[in-house]
Amino acid sequence: MPEFLPATPELTEEQQARVSTVLGDLCGVPALGDRYGAIDAVESLSDLATVPVLLKDDLQVALGHLQPRARHGATWVFQSGGSTGSPQVGYAPTGLYMADVFKHWPALDRDDVFVNGWNAGKMWGAHFLVNCFVDHAGCVAMNLGGISRDEYDPWLRFFADRKVTAYGGTTSVLRLVFSHARDAGIKLPDLRKVLWLGEAWDPQLDEDIPIVAPRAARWGMFGSTETWVIGTNTPDCPANVWHPLPSQLVCVGDDEMLDFTSLNPQVLNPILRYRTGDAGRAVTCPCGRPGPAFQVLGRRDHLIKFRGCLLDVDDFVAAVSARPRVAQAQLVVRERHEGDVLEVRLLATGQGDSQLAAQVREHIVGSAFGPSDMFLEHPESLEVLVVESLIGNERTGKVPHLVVRSER
């Protein structure tokens, strides 16, 4: 039986109205009408438990039909996922729902000097989402975006000179920046807050940050482009424990798979028991904050986070395998302290081709969507190899699309 984590024991009339509206939208999608058309009114959590889980592809079908528009201001379109294929899109009105986040998560205030270190390229929403949050905080803000290794020293010294108090980015970016600062002996004595969003917290940061910025503590947001911010945590919470916003209804389903329902009537995406691929469980957070909390255990689907980019393993492998002279492909993620590496292993058709690896790499880096921006900024994060055999199970003969190896 699904376990819901509501802020109230039952759905309010306003929340019931929101669920009814979304259910009506999904019923109106031809490809989904049969699935949702027979559902009666949802007036309780027990009723909601009978609603089918909405998967990633289902949501994209629904959005393709609905083409939602904001009632006021602009309608922003962002993308997540995708590798060499089409992106998975999400819609949001001006403000990106950050007023609700700021009300419950005091990560920044007017006295802060904040640096936004999230990349702003190719329709990824994190950079813009954080800027909307900054508007509510009213602090001094700098839009840095991504920086390369040869830029770390001057920018870190700039941060120190400007007495930067808060810095944010994906944990892959944060790990590289703070590791470099530690090795270079650069200190950020005024830094008090490290904001993160986009991937799981990296324990290496717990070692590097206290040396570089002894007063700094982490502040996290959890969500996706489709759901927007689901929950937040503070320095008093474990890194993988989150407090859901009152407008987000979290459900722990079969096999600990999480799904989410947005109860905010302003949300444009029809988020009704939407499964992101994350697993988790209901917990009591040691921070002592009242209300529900949930622990994220990681992803259990074919999507992975690689240096902050959501990558569809199956799509990526299929696209690479479809290239000329490629018989089969496999991804190997090598987890390293200095930054993870995505190794693309290729079996060539017939005799080996000395140019094949270079051609496939050029194709990946030149792709329109997915992590291509990150590969351009960090070319060392991608390796393409032509090999004699792929990594597999000798007993069964099965070759997985993805292999993860720790070199830390």
- Supply the pLDDT for residue 22: 97
Q: In which element (H, E) is residue 168 found?
A: strand 166-169
Per-residue pLDDT of the chain (408 residues), as tens digits, is 799 998 778 899 999 999 999 999 999 999 999 999 999 889 999 999 999 999 999 999 999 999 999 999 999 999 875 433 456 899 999 999 999 999 999 999 999 999 999 988 778 899 999 999 999 999 999 999 988 878 999 999 999 999 999 999 988 789 889 988 998 999 999 999 999 998 889 888 999 999 999 999 999 999 999 999 999 999 999 999 999 999 999 999 988 999 999 999 999 999 999 999 899 999 999 999 999 999 999 877 777 888 888 888 888 988 898 899 888 899 999 999 888 999 999 988 766 578 999 999 999 998 755 678 788 888 999 999 999 888 976 544 567 889 999 887
* Residue 373 domain-assigned (yes or no): yes
Structure tokens at 9: 């024991």
What backbone torsions phi and psi does residue 295 show, to the nearest 5 degrees? -105, 130
Please indicate, yes or no, if residue 29 is contained in any of the structural domains. Answer: no
Quote the pLDDT of residue 299: 75
From 94, 85, 130, 92, select the one nearest 112 (Cα to Cα). 130
Q: In the numeric block, which tokens belong to residue 193? A: 């807050």
Q: Which CATH number belongs to the domain containing residue 359 in this structure?
A: 3.30.300.30
As a whole number of angstroms, the distance between CA 53 and CA 32 comes to 12
**Dist CA 303 CA 278 (whole Å):** 10
385 found inside a domain = yes
User: Hey, is 36 helix, strand or coil?
Assistant: helix
Amino acid 7: pLDDT: 73
Query: Is there a domain that residue 351 lies in?
Result: yes
CB 268 within 8 A of CB 232: no
pLDDT of residue 223: 95
In the block, residue with structure tokens 């993860």: 404
Q: Is residue 391 part of a domain?
A: yes
Neighbours of 111 (CB within 10 A): 12
Q: Provide the pLDDT for residue 82.
A: 45
Strand partners, 258: 252
pLDDT of residue 65: 97
Q: What is the pLDDT of residue 121?
A: 75
- Structural domain contains residue 77: no
Position 158 scores a pLDDT of 98
State the pLDDT at residue 351.
65
Q: Which residue has the tokens 């999480």?
A: 258
Q: In this structure, is residue 380 part of a structural domain?
A: yes
According to the model, what pLDDT value does residue 393 have? 62
CA dihedral 125, 130, 134, 135 (to 10 degrees): 20
Scanning the structure block, which residue is given the tokens 């959005």?
A: 63
In three-state secondary structure terms, 301 is coil
260 CA to centre of own chain: 15
pLDDT number for residue 191: 98
Q: What does the alpha-carbon distance between residue 198 and residue 308 come to, in Å, rounded to a whole number?
A: 5
Structural domains of the chain, count: 1
Look at residue 83 in the predicted model and tell me its pLDDT.
Answer: 39
Which residues 6+ apart lie within 8 Å of 206 measured at CB? Answer: none
Domain that holds residue 363: 306-406
- The pLDDT assigned to 310 comes to 81
Dihedral, CA of residue 133, residue 135, residue 136 and residue 139, to nearest 10 = 100
Please measure the distance between the N-terminal and C-terminal CA atoms of the chain and give it in whole angstroms. Answer: 39
N residues, the chain: 408
Residue 233 · residue 242 · CB < 8 Å: yes
Report yes or no: 342 and 383 within 8 Å, Cβ to Cβ: yes
pLDDT at 84: 37
281 occurs within a structural domain: no
